Amino acid sequence: MSLVSPEYKSNDTGFTGVAMKSRNLIFAVIVCIFLLGPFGVFVIGSGGVDLPSWLTAEDSAYLTGGLVETNIEESLNLDGYASKTLQSALENKIGNNIPVKAQVIYMNGALQRQCIEASNALFNWESYPAFFGSAYCYIPRQDRILPIPQRMTQETEQAFQNYIKHLDEFSKAHPDIDFVTYFAPGWDTALYSPLNDLTCESISYAKVQEIVDSALEDKGGSTNSKYLFAQYNGDQDEAKYLADYYRFDHHWNNRGAARAYYQIAESLNLPQRDAGYCFDIAGEPYSGAYARSASMNVAEPFVGVSNGLDSTIVDYRNHEWIMGEHVRYFDAGSLERHYNAYTLYSETLEGATIKTGNGDKNVLLLSDSYGGALQYFLPLSCNSLVQGISLSMGDTSSDTLEQILANCDADIDAVVFVAHSSNISGLSRRKPDFFAFE
Amino acid sequence: MVFSSTIFLFGFLPLFFAIYFLVPSLAVKNIVLLAFSLLFYAWGEPVYVFLMIGSIAVNWLAGLGISKTNQRFSKKTVLVLAIIANLLVLGFYKYQGFLAFNINRALGEEFLAELELALPIGISFFTLQAITYIVDVYRGRVVAQKNPLYMGMYIAMFPQLVAGPIVRYADIEHAIDHRVVTMDGFTQGLRLFIVGLGKKVLLANIAGILADSLLMKEAADIGFIGCLSGVLAYTFQIYFDFSGYSDMAIGLGKMMGFDYPRNFNYPYISKSATEFWRRWHMSLGGFFRDYVYIPLGGNRVKQPRFVFNTMVVWALTGIWHGAAWNFMLWGIYWGALILFEKFFMMKVLNKLPSFVSHVWCIVLFIFGWLLFSVTGLQNVLQWTAALFGAYGLTGTSTLWELQSWSYISLIPVMIIGSLPWAPWLRKKIQLWAEGASDCNVIAAPEKGNEAVPVCQVQIARSVSVIPARMRVVTMVNIAVDLALIAILVLSSFSIVSSSYNPFIYFQF
């Protein structure tokens, strides 16, 4: 009997070669329809039919870093072919037409996570990777996602020490300005993270605090430069911390920012005002950076804030911007709010000068994205607030602190640095001359 | 372009088959296949595609030259020149840097410039394929192809172009002008393609995540568990990746009406090094046997010469895999083992229980993959020391950090996937359906491709099937189809998610 070319005749009239051929045909048709999915989406979309975003690749834009604009006509030439831009454009075109792409990404992550959970049944670790090879881990007890912490290295420790040393020198040279550095616990130094116990010599918030304390002891410190850490004490404050920081994003929410505001205001002797009330914005769940990076379809309430700055006019570099209304947030579509709430709500005033006259001091806030939320609190206690993103990893400006101070319209009385720990240590690596002065 | 990519699955493949089946004549189908094969290659190698076209032209002319002359000396001259031309191109692009580096190091000066050339993808495969063609023309086994486009189609055929199997011209000579594509053949090939895709995407890529993350670390950082996990993960990765790619290639060929030979025959069930190499990358082993070992005299020579022939073949096999000393060491390792088994061990192995022989072979190929994957002699020594506990259980890492624990649930899947349960089960059900009383099945033959056709995923229904049992056979076949569709869907999920998808053939 040949297995390569089977005979399909049979004694049973119910099962003939026709049945086998039909089954082959059905199988082939199903596979062909599946493989033609992106082509179908492209044709239907090109025909003017407005497909729902979940049916196309549109919903996946935030999960994949955005839908890449494709311009095939532009690269349809020899240069485009030789440089492979034509090939990339065609590949991106197909990628942009994958049906239900967001759900596919989530489902793929979920399937891998189930395999990992099955493996974890033997070990019962408190946390496990979100998918195979993921740098992000899920913590079921806290229903939280965190990145795997980096290892503390000599270079990192030195970078923190350099930051303190250079700021110390600068502050001594500028005794009329107060300096505060607030180390926000986030991303690599999240508090109450079981990952610190699961990994070896990882960077932790406590370790950073140790390094800073040790550096200050050695230097003696200057009286006008202070270093603040979030005040959460022991296990009883775990719930408080988890309420102040997003569980699926690396940022604090407005509760956490408000808590930091009180600490900063106290250290700068600013008048402490009521930060306002923080509330969960109903019906607008937020799926932050961690959720996207972990390919997990999870979301949490986004925390809004309403305080005395609601109707303040802001001088925003020739634009008029009304504080507190968070226009960009409420004007954005629901999909963008779902994935990008923090940026829309909190990071709208980059480079702005907020004049409130609520205090005596002009404050310069230099931060990474954490500073965005503080812009809605610090002006409660100062005359004006200028904000810059010098501590952000993406900031490419080469201005020194002295130049930034010189460019401010008013004389600055206090400089507040706010960022998560690695952006603070990273400052001395990215901008070694930042604290240079004449 | 790789098979496990969105552009191939959702763009190239549907477009190719749409046009391929629309054109009526076989001649035009061949041209379409050539055109798409060149497009497939040019996609990733927009410049080197001309190198391949040059190779096609040279080998086509060589084949014609050999066939047109009657004088043996002239035939041999053309053959030798053509082989040298092929090997020079391969040697230049693949080994120039390696040779220059080692010569310069030996001389203590920069005698040769290290050009750091980008390696044309698949050059090792299509060069060997071309050599088999001109040698077979010389030996009279095949007729020289007069049509340069058909010659191009053979060398550039996209299914096996970048990762094999090494298809000999004799395997497809008849099919060039006489193949018939049937729905049965097409779907057989489609099913095998899906099996291969699943192996590559769902098994190899996942194993590769762990393998790559551990193999790039120092042995002292990961200890015994890390090193063992890393090399085990690599063992599974390379098998499922390579055999999966071969399955996809053979499946695609079948969909077009070509019958490519099997390339992997469940090598991990082997009981000796000798058996392992009758099951692993069979097309490569066959090439070195028929075009290097036998011309050198094979085993029909005195013992010293036999040992020499064997070691030459295995050194070449090793260095073919990559321009680095660890590949040469890996090849010599296998050559030495095969000789050891032939002279001493085989008699012992034949007397031992199967289980012991299996363990012997498992240890051999796992250590072989350690030599293959870890570069640098010092690293190999450190990794070997780690496997004997020199750096403790987890080195300077915690067990959690190694992440190998998270793959434990996949180990049974990978082990089962390496075993010939599918052909065994298929045969068992078939014999049961035919009412055979003695169901003693040898699922995976010890030698060659002969017994079990590679494309037979479904259970065949012959005239001997008992009617009452046919319904079960049908239900099993439907279940197989549903499982294959699920594999296709899951594989597509993984590809679309831009999950880890390494292409490990860049050095070939």
Calculate helix-pair angle for B26-44, B169-178, nearest 10 degrees: 130
Q: Does residue A16 have a pLDDT over 80?
A: no
Report the pLDDT value the prediction gives residue A315, as an integer from 0 to 100: 59
- Do B405 and A24 count as a contact with CB atoms less than 8 A apart? no
- pLDDT given for residue A15 in this prediction: 40
Q: How far apart are CA B131 and CA B114, in angstroms?
A: 27
DSSP B202-266: IIIHHHHHHHHHHHTS-HHHHHHHHHHHHHHHHHHHHHHHHHHHHHHHHHHHHHHT--PPP----
Judge if B25 and B39 occupy the same domain. Answer: yes
Q: Do residue B14 and residue A132 have CB atoms under 8 angstroms apart?
A: no
| CB neighbourhood size of A111 (10 A) | 15
Residue A296 is predicted with a pLDDT of 94
Burial class for B338, CB neighbours closer than 10 Å (0-12, 13-18, 19+): buried
Interchain CB contact of B229 with A (< 8 Å): no
B395 and B433, same structural domain? no
Q: Does a structural domain hold residue B183?
A: no
Provide the strand spans (E) within A251-392. Answer: 277-286, 300-306, 313-316, 319-322, 353-355, 362-367, 384-388
B424's enclosing H/E stretch is helix B421-433
Tokens 């055999």 found at:
B243
> What gap in Å lies between CA B144 and CA A399, rounded to an integer?
72
- The SS3 of residue A279 is strand
Residues B159 and B237 in one domain: no
Q: Does B501 touch chain A (CB under 8 A)?
A: no
Verify whether the Cβ–Cβ distance B460 to A6 is below 8 Å.
yes
Q: Which amino acid is at A8?
A: Y
pLDDT of the residue at B505: 65
B398 interface with A at CB cutoff 8 Å: yes
Cβ(B241)–Cβ(B197) under 8 Å? no
Would you list the DSSP string of B185-210? HHHHHHHHHHHHHHIIIIIIHHHHHH
Which residue is closest to A201 within chain B, CA to CA? B397
B406: contact with A, CB 8 A cutoff: yes
Provide the mean pLDDT of chain B. 90
pLDDT of A12 above 50:
no
Write phi, then psi, for A363 (nearest 5 degrees): -115, 135
Residues B267 and B357 in one domain: yes
Chain B residues in contact with A8 (beta carbon < 8 A): 461
Does residue B174 have an active-site annotation?
Answer: no
Contact criterion met (CB below 8 Å) for A365 and A345: no
Would you call A221 helix, strand, or coil by DSSP?
coil
Are the Cβ atoms of B488 and A24 closer than 8 angstroms?
no
User: Which stretch of B85-89, B102-106, B208-212 has the lowest confidence by average pLDDT?
Assistant: B102-106
How many CB pairs (< 8 A) connect A and B? 161
Token reading at B147: 């049509």
B401 vs chain A: nearest CA distance in angstroms? 6
Instruction: Provide DSSP, A318-350.
Output: TEEEETTS-HHHHHS-HHHHHHHHHHHHHSS-T
**pLDDT tens-digit readout, A109-122:** 999 999 999 999 99
B397–A35 C-beta distance less than 8 A: no
Instruction: For residues B263 and B411, state if they share a domain.
Output: yes
Whole-number percent of chain B with pLDDT over 70:
93
Chain A CB within 8 Å of residue B478 CB? yes
- Residue B456 has a pLDDT of 57
Which residues touch A78 (CB under 8 Å, ≥6 apart)? none
Count other C-beta atoms under 10 Å from residue A327's C-beta: 13
Total domains, chain B: 3
Could you tell me if B418 and B429 lie in one domain?
no
A38/B498 touch (CB, cutoff 8 Å), yes or no: no
Interface of B with A in 153-192 (CB under 8 A): 183-184, 186-187, 190-191
Answer whether A10 sits within 8 Å of B470, measured CB to CB.
Answer: yes
The pLDDT confidence band at residue B459, using thresholds 50, 70 and 90, is low
* Domain end among B369, B395, B422: B422
Quote the CA–CA distance of B436 and A431 in Å, as a whole number: 80
Residue A66 has pLDDT above 70, yes or no: no
- Flag whether pLDDT at A7 surpasses 70: no
**Residue in this structure with the two tokens 């079981």, named with its chain if needed:** A194
The Cα–Cα gap between B238 and B203 comes to 10
Using a CB-CB cut-off of 8 Å, the residues of chain A touching B187 are 24, 27-28
Answer whether A123 touches B (CB < 8 Å): yes
Yes or no, beta carbons of B477 and A28 under 8 Å apart: no
The yes-or-no verdict on residue A268 having pLDDT over 80 is yes
Segment (H or E) for A128: strand A128-129
The A residues from 55 to 84 touching B (CB cutoff 8 Å) are: 64, 81-82, 84
Taking an 8 Å cut-off on Cβ atoms, the answer to whether B187 and A28 are in contact is yes
d(CA B131, CA B202): 35
Q: What's the gap in Å between the CA of A118 and the closest CA on chain B?
A: 6
Q: Which residues of B touch A123 (CB under 8 A)?
A: 405
Does residue B1 lie in a domain region? no
| B414/B434 same-domain check | no
Do B242 and B219 lie in one domain? The reply is yes
B442 at the A interface (CB within 8 A)?
no
Q: Per-residue pLDDT tens for B301-325?
A: 899 999 999 999 999 999 999 998 8
Give the mean pLDDT of B197-215: 96
Asked if A132 and B461 come within 8 Å (Cβ–Cβ), the reply is no
**CB of A40 within 8 Å of any CB in chain B?**
no
B292 and B418 co-located in one domain: yes
Please confirm whether the linkage preceding B165 is cis (ω < 30° from 0): yes
The answer to whether residues B22 and B95 belong to one domain is yes
Query: Chain B window 305-324: which residues touch A at a Cβ cutoff of 8 Å?
Result: none
Q: Are B144 and B304 in contact (CB under 8 A)?
A: no
CB neighbour list of residue A389: distance below 8 Å, 6 or more residues apart: A350, A351, A366, A367, A368, A369, A371, A395
Q: Which domain holds residue B383?
A: 194-422
Confirm whether B69 is domain-assigned: yes
Whether B42 and B107 share a structural domain = yes
**What value does the CA radius of gyration of chain A take, rounded to a whole number of Å?**
27
How many Å apart are CA A86 and CA A73, to the nearest integer? 9
Q: Is the pLDDT of residue A233 over 90?
A: no
Q: Which of B174, B178, B281, B321 is catalytic?
A: B321
Give the one of B190, B403, B455 whose C-beta lies nearest to A28's C-beta: B190
Please tell me if residue A128 touches chain B, with a CB cutoff of 8 Å: yes
Nearest to B462 among A1, A15, A19 (CB): A1
* CA dihedral of residues B470, B475, B481, B483 (deg, nearest 10): -140
Read out DSSP for B334-384? HHHHHHHIIIIIHHHHHHS-HHHHHHHHHHHHHHHHHHHHS-SHHHHHHHH
Question: Which of B422, B453, B486 is where one domain is finished?
Answer: B422
Identify all chain B residues contacting A116, using CB atoms and an 8 Å cutoff: 406, 409
Instruction: Compute the nearest-CA separation of A177 from chain B (Å).
Output: 45
| Average pLDDT estimate for B452-466 | 60
Residues B338 and B458 in one domain: no
Return the SS3 of A184: strand
Residue B506 lies inside a defined structural domain of this protein? no
Residue B451 has pLDDT above 50, yes or no: no
pLDDT at A27 (0 to 100): 94
How does pLDDT run across B130-146, given as a tens digit for each residue? 999 999 999 999 999 99
CB pair distance less than 8 Å for A200 and B474: no
Given an 8 Å threshold on Cβ–Cβ distance, is B453 in contact with A295? Answer: no
Which pLDDT belongs to residue A158?
94
> Does residue B89 lie in a domain region?
yes
Nearest chain B residue to A130 by CA distance is B406
pTM of the predicted model as reported, rounded to 2 decimal places: 0.91
Answer yes or no: is B188 within a domain.
no
